[in-house]
């Protein structure tokens, strides 16, 4: 039994005991414990959840456990659906949304001439960029130069495989899903370093080195902070972490506040948001690109389709970061009235809006300040949060 279940059982048993005012207390407490045990078992069963291939197999009449061939086909269908959703998000958010949001913060108009609300600028920019020649500079490390643009978006899409998006849309639900999503997203660091090194350009090389140094400095606090959620939930399975947040934390005037880990441990939530800003390269941590210093950083020598891949990869990682925040701290796809997938996408968009607000409102820090904040600030606070969480959980258990 996880510490969070122990906490909720203790609170419910206490409420049941108080309701009896001392009369029949033992019986009331026993009944409350029995009810809580039943709820905990149901929650655990729900936490396992069905993956998209299993759900699709049942809908088509092949049963919950189809043969490996069908399971592979259904997995391809689910992966394609997830890719289409978030590639569309990246196209809209990166080409149109970024301009509109920045314009709103800086009192400008932004795109409004091409199509209604300027939405067709997405098509215009896609045609313009994809029709450009892919220029290969002299003396580049060609294999690494060609591979790097594919690694960045691939690592983000790979991370979505274990995210419970709601409405049955979860491609896989391994016991180590928490580890998998961070491992997959970290592959992008290799792509950024390769793009900077292979370009044979000093600005690109500096951008690649900055990206690697920044990711190392902030990925450790990011994972350590997220580990405090695992300590409290008692599981590495992403669907079970979501299920742990479905209980009511407290009820005020008839309104139940959910036990989202953002409410249970707001300090960890804030730490994770800051570290996530650095991971996705948004202000004040956008030093790997730093247009005023490094032209375009690791993307300087890329053009055409290669530039599109790197640009899309950047926004896919922003949305993946939002999905991880929503899963670990905001209850995942949980929410009233609307379908789970809608709530999940709204939470991801809320995190995206936060990153764009930071981009418009917070000035960039120097690279030495960035490294100092990561190693001397966030790292220390993330370990302090982990130790404090472990002490509290040990006391509750």
Rg of the chain over CA atoms, in angstroms? 23
Give 312-334 as a DSSP string.
HHHHHHHHHHHHHHHHHHS-TT-
**Residue 157 — pLDDT band, cuts 50, 70, 90?**
very high
End-to-end CA distance of the chain: 9
Mean pLDDT rounded to a whole number for the chain: 83
> In percent, how much of the chain has pLDDT > 70?
86
Give the span between the Cα atoms of 99 and 80, in whole angstroms: 28
DSSP characters over 215-269: HHHHHHHHHHHHHHHHHHHT---HHHHHHHTTSEEEEETTEEEE--HHHH-HHHH
DSSP string across 131-178: TS-----TT--HHHHHHHHHHHHHHHHHHGGG---STT--S---TTHH
How confident is the model at residue 226, as a pLDDT?
94
Q: Mean pLDDT, to the nearest integer, of 181-197?
A: 90
Residue 42's pLDDT is 35
Residue that is written with structure tokens 């961070």 in the block: 182
What residues have CB less than 8 Å from 46, skipping those under 6 apart? 243, 246
Q: Which of 274, 273, 52, 309 is nearest to 155 (CA)?
A: 309
Sign of CA dihedral 46, 235, 348, 156: negative
Stretch 324-331: mean pLDDT, rounded? Answer: 94
**pLDDT tens track for 330-385:** 999 988 888 989 999 999 999 999 998 888 888 888 888 889 999 999 999 999 99
Contacts of 89 (CB under 8 A, 6+ apart): 315, 319, 345, 348
Q: What is d(CA 82, CA 88) in angstroms, rounded to the nearest whole number?
A: 10
Task: Please confirm whether the linkage preceding 21 is cis (ω < 30° from 0).
Answer: no
Overall average pLDDT of the 149-161 stretch: 92
């Amino acid at each position: 039994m996880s510490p969070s279940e122990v906490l909720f059982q203790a609170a419910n048993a206490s409420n049941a005991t108080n309701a009896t005012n001392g009369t029949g207390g033992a019986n009331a407490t026993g009944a409350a414990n029995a009810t809580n045990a039943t709820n905990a078992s149901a929650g655990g069963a729900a936490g396992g959840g069905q993956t998209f291939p299993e759900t699709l197999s049942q809908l088509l009449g092949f049963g919950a456990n189809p043969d490996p061939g069908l399971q592979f086909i259904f997995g391809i269908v689910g992966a394609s659906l997830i890719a289409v959703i978030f590639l569309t998000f990246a196209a809209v958010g990166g080409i149109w949304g970024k301009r509109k949001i920045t314009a709103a913060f800086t009192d400008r108009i932004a795109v409004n001439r091409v199509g209604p609300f300027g939405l067709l600028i997405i098509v215009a920019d896609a045609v313009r960029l994809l029709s450009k020649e892919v220029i290969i500079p002299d003396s580049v490390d060609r294999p690494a130069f060609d591979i790097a643009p594919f690694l960045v978006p691939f690592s983000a899409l790979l991370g979505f495989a274990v995210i419970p998006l709601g409405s049955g849309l979860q491609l896989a639900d391994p016991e180590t899903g928490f580890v998998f999503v961070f491992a997959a997203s970290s592959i992008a660091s290799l792509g950024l370093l390769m793009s900077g090194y292979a370009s044979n350009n000093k600005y690109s090389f500096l951008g690649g080195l900055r990206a690697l140094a920044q990711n190392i400095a902030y990925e450790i606090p990011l994972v350590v902070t997220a580990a405090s959620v695992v300590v409290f939930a008692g599981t590495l399975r992403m669907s079970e972490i979501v299920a742990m947040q479905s209980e009511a934390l407290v009820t005020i005037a008839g309104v139940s506040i959910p036990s989202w880990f953002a409410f249970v441990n707001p300090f960890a939530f804030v730490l994770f948001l800051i570290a996530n800003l650095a991971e996705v390269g948004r202000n004040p941590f956008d030093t790997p690109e730093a247009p005023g210093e490094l032209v375009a950083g690791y993307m300087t020598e890329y053009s055409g389709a290669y530039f599109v891949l790197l640009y899309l990869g950047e926004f896919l990682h922003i949305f993946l970061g939002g999905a991880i925040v929503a899963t670990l701290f905001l209850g995942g796809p949980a929410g009233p009235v609307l379908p789970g997938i809608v709530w999940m996408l709204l939470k991801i968009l809320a995190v995206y809006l936060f990153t764009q607000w930071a981009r418009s409102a917070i000035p960039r820090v120097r690279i030495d300040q960035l490294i100092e904040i990561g190693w001397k600030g966030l790292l220390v606070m993330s370990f302090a949060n982990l130790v404090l969480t472990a002490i509290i959980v040990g006391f509750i258990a």
